[in-house]
Structure 1
Amino acid sequence: MAPRDTTDSPRLRIVEAAVGLLESGGPDAVSTRAVAAAAGMQPPAIYRHFGDKDGLLEAVAEHGYELFLESKRAQFDDTPEDPVAELRRAWDLVVEFGVSRPGLFAVMTRAAGSSSQDAHRAGLEILHGRVRRLAAAGWLRVGEELAAQIIQATGQGAVVTWHSTPADRRDPALLTVLRESMVAAVTRAEPAVPAAESGPAAAARALRAALPDDADVLTEAEQHLLREWLTRLAAQS
């Protein structure tokens, strides 16, 4: 992989300015004029370094992969004792990155198919190495290529679902369940969450789901109160 730009590189200044605009104002904020102004340069500098806006976004994606790879390399051993635990931690790291940096993650995901993304290819090599360690240890349930695709798809899907869900309805348990579904699909390891639940909370969820919207036996106020009680019971673990 090519060496990263130094901190005083005009190219890196432009990329970091674009990342800042992307994360503060979303994709619409990343115009060539705005990026140039944020980087303290003139718009022609962007075309000189990147060709066009698409070239700039490819560089932003590459920068994002480099940042992500740095965090992965700092947190993982080359020869982990437990490859399944390593898989869980790596998946969590991807999702945490995507949840905390949605704009950058979206640009990285869109650019993932580009063969020119050196950092992306390096990330894939790490993923495939992780899958090979699972296979060598006898943990793998499916073929290596399919396993890698499942790991990628569930991680990206978790991030997209999280951000597409209204903030007041986001439940961190979703991420745990998706991760363990991935582990169950890819490996022979037991899920780290219970497969089924019984007791008052489960019963309350079932009753709440079964209640008709217009139960004639109850007044509107009684229906509202019953649903509130069931919601409280259903939230108990």
Structure 2
Amino acid sequence: MIDTRQQILDATAALLERAGAEEVSIRDVCQAAGITAPTVYHHFGDKKALLEAVAAEGFRRYLSTKHSRKPSTDPLADLHRGWADHVGFGLEHPAFYRLMYGTPNAEDRPAAREGHRVLVGILDRLAEAGRLRLPPEQAATMIHTACVGTTLSLLSTPESRTAGLADQMRDAVFGAVLHQNEPADDNKAAAAELARALLATLSVRDTAELTPGERGILLELLRKLAP
């Protein structure tokens, strides 16, 4: 039995891959899906709700790829792969991507929050390994914002002006949030770097061996060393 709602979503998605959301009408969707306008309105109400449902379908397809891949033993490799997958999906499905991330309140969708949780999970593992300079939630916000902005720029700017942009932005933001485990140029900078890494690690690690007071003192001292 044909799922009429999914049939409408698939037809709309196919149309969007060939034209922008502004160019696709309910009439176009009806012709592509072989249905009448009342059927579309019955399932979605109006064009705005239909496009919102298509955005949700885009997230479903995007997240299905993420969930199909098991975490590797190297969280840094997983982080690099996640960046590449995100940019790659946007470039392969520009109409979907613009609906997913180029509209108001895009980050409030449940599927968007699920994608955020996947990213934080990778960063939690990096924090446990002492590789993060920032708490995972803060690092996730920076990485996600940079990745979405980069992808939208790639979709709206001529390729000749964006050559290498995705890799350059990835390296810049990863360099800002990751502790590279390399010696700093002086003792003060080295102490600050190590303090930031330890603060990030403590944000995800249980410290049952410390009393609440001891943990509070430790955090206060580390924050002074890592301004």
TM-score of the superposed pair, with normalisation by structure 1: 0.70
Once the two structures are superposed, the pairs formed by residues 51-62 of structure 1 within 5 Å of their partners are 51-62=45-56
Query: Whole-Å Cα distance in 2 between the matches of residues 188 and 61 of structure 1?
Result: 35
Identity %, equivalent residues? 37
How many residues align? The count is 180
> 1:144-159, aligned counterparts within 5 Å?
144-159=136-151
Q: Please tell me whether residue 28 in structure 1 is matched to residue 32 in structure 2.
A: no
Q: Which residue of 2 aligns with 1:82?
A: 74
Aligned partners of 1:169, 1:113: CA distance in 2, in Å? 28
Deviations 1:17-67 (A, max 9, x none): 111111101112321111121111111111111121121111101110111
Which residue does the alignment assign to 2:166? 175
1:99 lines up with 2:99 in the alignment: no
* Per-residue Cα deviation, 1:76-114 (whole angstroms, up to 9, x for no partner): 323x21111110110111001111211110101125233
> Alpha carbons of 1:190 and 1:177: their partners in 2 closer, same or farther (altered >3 Å)?
farther
Whether the 8 Å contact between 1:21 and 1:29 is mirrored in structure 2 is: no
* Other-structure match for 1:42: 36
Q: Which residue of 2 aligns with 1:142?
A: 134
Unpaired runs of 5+ residues, structure 1, are 1-6, 192-237
The AA in structure 1 aligned to 2:3 is S
Q: For 1:161-203, what per-residue CA distance to the aligned partner results, in whole angstroms no more than 9, with x for missing partners?
A: 21222234331x2111111112111211379xxxxxxxxxxxx
Distance 1:38 1:131 in 2: 43
Distance across 1 between alignment mates of 2:2 and 2:130: 48
C-alpha change, 1:190 and 1:63, in structure 2 (3 Å) is farther
Correspondence for 1:15: 9
Give, in whole Å, the separation in 1 of the partners of 2:66 and 2:6. Answer: 21
Whole-angstrom distance in 2 between the partners of 1:142 and 1:15: 40
Q: Secondary structure at the match of 1:87?
A: helix
More relative contact order, 1 or 2 (CA 8 Å, 6+ apart): 2
TM normalised by structure 2 equals 0.73
Report how far residue 14 of structure 1 moved. 0.6
Contact 2:131–2:181 at 8 Å: present in 1 too? Answer: no
Tell whether the 8 Å contact from 2:133 to 2:178 is kept in structure 1 after alignment: yes
Q: Is the CA contact (8 Å cut-off) linking 1:36 and 1:46 kept in structure 2? A: yes
Q: CA RMSD in A?
A: 1.9
**3-state DSSP of counterpart to 1:86:** helix
The question of whether the paired residues in 2 share the 8 Å contact of 1:127 and 1:148 is answered with: yes
Whole-angstrom distance in 2 between the partners of 1:91 and 1:181: 13
Question: Aligned residue for 2:65?
Answer: 71
Residue pair 1:17, 1:39 contacting (<8 A) in 2 also: yes
Q: Is the 8 A contact 2:107 2:113 kept in 1?
A: no
